[in-house]
Chain A
Amino acid sequence: MAESERATESRGEESPPVDDSWRKEYWRRNVRLMVILLSIWFTVSFVCGILLVDQLNEVVINGFPLGFWFAQQGSIYTFVLLILVYALRMDRLDDEYGVSERDGNGRRL
């Protein structure tokens, strides 16, 4: 699937070979993804685990006060997911802009 996307993308890019606007666009989308993921990073750890921990502790699930759970479990699970989402989304973004790393046969490096 990624291959076909790349093919269409390249076809559209045929005529003006030195159009650099894609660079700005690629970078803007990268930064936007980063900002979204970092806000989640801040929310689960610093907001839920520290700033609002007492309020969230009023809610108890399966024995865990919620704020305590965020601080000692939930934030760590979220961190792992955030990096995975980042890596997957960046694969797609790289392919869309034709800047993914490929060997001579077009396979991912």
Chain B
Amino acid sequence: MSSIQLWTFVFIALSFGAYIFIAWRSRVRETSGFYVADQGIPTVANGAAVAADWMSAASFISMAGLIAFLGSDGSIYLMGWTGGYVLLALLLAPYLRKWGKYTVPEFVGDRYSELVRTIAAVAAIIISFTYVVGQMRGGGIVFSRFLDLEITGGVMVAAAVIFLYAVLGGMKGITWTQVAQYTVLIIAYLIPAFAVAQQMTGFPMPQITFGQILDELNAISAEFGLAEYTQAFTNRPQIDVFLVAMSLMIGTAGLPHVIIRFYTTKSVRGARYSAFWALFFIALLYTTAPAVGAFTKLNLLQDVQGVPANELPSWIDNWAATGLVTVAEGSETIESVSNNPAAGADLTVNNDILVLASPEIAGLPAPIVGLVAAGGLAAAMSTAAGLLLVISSSVSHDLYFRRIQKTATDAQRLRAGRIAMAGAVVVAVYGGINPPAFVAQVVAFAFGMAAASFFPIIVLGIFWKRCNAVGAAAGMVSGLLFTIVYMVYTLEVFGTSANDHIFDISPEGIGTIGALVNFVVTIVVSKLTAPPPKHLIEMVENIRYPAARRTRAGVVTEGERD
């Protein structure tokens, strides 16, 4: 066992031990604990849990690498995956918390109708499944790369641990475990980044100092025949950058596993501050990532520029074994670098390895490499757990309890929740071991669908009293259909051939248009049909005020607190 493997093993064993211990301490016996952690999670802890839930294997492992190769256009991920929290905090979180039940389909079910509840539950299950498969895969890759386990074995180990703490502790166990996972992943991300910044610029604040190397990076990129790093719209046209950023933002605000986290706070005020803490914690990683991308790209290009193929630095050899770094046959010296195998460059580097390899590229010691591996696992597992809880609650609560067994007791519902969770884990393991061919497109799918289905009807449900069930059902179905049809039209999935983008709009950006379609259809159909009944209008009125009004005479307005 090499020293890197040993350290990886130590960090993973320690962190897993901590997760299981925390889950055991916070195990639950009631449905409300299982679904919404008894609504007793402190604000800062909830913010950290949201951040861990939100930052997946993609944020931790892939994003900085993607930005390194996309340059300026990598901004779509940085803005898109943070800007959605502003929408969440201002438009959704406080009101959903005030209304306060268990799931997202539950809100639309109460606000609109049983039909809309069922559509929403099915949409939540599909969205969460597409997302969870990628997480299991991400966790499996870390295991197999650092511990020489087969991917199958790696996925099994990751799933067994998640299963243990999710089934035992439900939302409560998941939330407290995620607080620990956030701590692990942010330390693992920041330490190497600060070390690299210190090494390259003499000051350990990557966010501030990476400006100093941009000129150098632009110059060396030009020598490699690549676009200037800071030049905008070299990879995507402007209209597409705009639409993708918007789609990721409203997709974020519409993802059920993110929205549900604001149900777990103590109060409406807590939901607002949770959103603040969540974005604060996320911003720590998201403002560091572009610096990691720029530093690593410069290091990488300088390391290999004009170097004969047989004298390359040793990290390239180490990673070549995984097949994620390849030197083209017949190249004598390295004159071109790409992340796309089809480009035929002398050196091809996969996006996914830049963060994991950055400590090695910068020559940092083995314990840090092990820490980064544990961080990648924490990111994958925390997100997977949150998604599995949504799947479990949608199946057991929104479909089983609301539609099939309406008289189920609390104990029965809790058992149904746990069985659904176990089933979801099994399917996720299968998906992680045999990923569908389109894992790369999974993110586009999940976000586009969330943007086009949930966000518009929830926002209208809160801000427009006149919005009714027929409108919401029509809007959600047409938004979803429109988005899925365009994705199938432009992507090579389900055996269809990829067609050209219409008006330069990529499948990642179509969610914006889908959401627009949803908004328009919901409004038009609502206007054409009868207004919602009086008790629903009162329900909407009541979620707008955090608490009943107090005067000296006592409480004068109803607006119950639950």
Contact = CB atoms under 8 A, between A and B. Distances in A.
B549 interface: yes
Contacts of B85: 79, 83
B267 A109 contact: yes
Interface string B548-559: 111111001101
Contacts of A45: 79, 83, 245
B86 A41 contact: yes
Given A6-B550, A14-B551, 8 more contacts: A41-B83, A62-B212, A63-B212, A68-B230, A83-B90, A87-B272, A101-B547, A108-B269
Contact of B72 (A17, A71, A79): A71
Contacts, number: 168
Contact of B549 (A57, A82, A99): A99
Interface in B368-408: none
Contacts of A72: 67, 72, 74-75, 78, 290
Interface in A72-87: 72-73, 75-77, 79-80, 82-84, 86-87
A14 B550 CA distance: 10
Per DSSP, are chain B's interface residues mostly helix, strand or loop, or mixed? helix
29 contacts: A10-B551, A11-B552, A13-B552, A23-B541, A30-B544, A38-B86, A41-B86, A49-B245, A50-B238, A50-B241, A57-B230, A62-B211, A63-B210, A71-B75, A72-B67, A76-B287, A79-B83, A80-B280, A83-B89, A86-B90, A94-B269, A94-B547, A98-B550, A99-B549, A99-B559, A101-B546, A101-B547, A108-B267, A109-B266
A14 B86 contact: no
Contacts of B267: 101, 108-109
Contacts of B287: 73, 76-77
A91 to B, nearest CB: 7
A90 B98 CA distance: 14
B460 interface: no
A59 interface: no
A80 B213 contact: no
Contacts of A1: none
A34 B94 CA distance: 13
A42 to B, nearest CB: 9
Chain A contact residues (Cβ within 8 angstroms of B): what range?
35 or more
Contact of A51 (B90, B230, B242, B550): B242
A98 to B, nearest CB: 5
A4 to B, nearest CB: 14
Contact of A109 (B211, B241, B270): B270
B253 to A, nearest CB: 12
Q: Could you say which of B208, B213, B246, B276 has the most chain A C-beta atoms within 10 Å of its C-beta?
A: B276
Interface string A30-62: 100010011001000110011101100100011
A13 B241 contact: no
A94 B544 CA distance: 11
Contacts of B552: 10-11, 13-14
A100 B518 CA distance: 34
Contact of B561 (A38, A63, A101): A101
A80 B548 contact: no
Contacts of A94: 269, 546-547
Contacts of A30: 544
A100 B272 CA distance: 13
Contacts of B230: 57, 65, 68
A87 B98 CA distance: 15
B539 interface: no
Contact of A23 (B78, B283, B286, B545): B545
A57 B213 CA distance: 16
Given A23-B545, A46-B242, A83-B276, A57 B79 contact: no
A24 to B, nearest CB: 10
Contacts of A18: 556
B547 A102 contact: yes
B273 interface: yes
A13 B557 CA distance: 13
7 A-B pairs closest in CB distance: A63-B211, A71-B75, A64-B211, A87-B272, A72-B290, A109-B267, A83-B276
Nearest to A106: B550
A49 B79 contact: yes
Contacts of A79: 82-83, 85-86, 279, 283
Contacts of B208: 62
A63 B83 contact: no
A98 B87 CA distance: 26
Contacts of A62: 208, 211-212
B275 interface: yes
B560 interface: no
Given A51-B242, A77-B283, A57 B232 contact: yes
Nearest to B241: A50
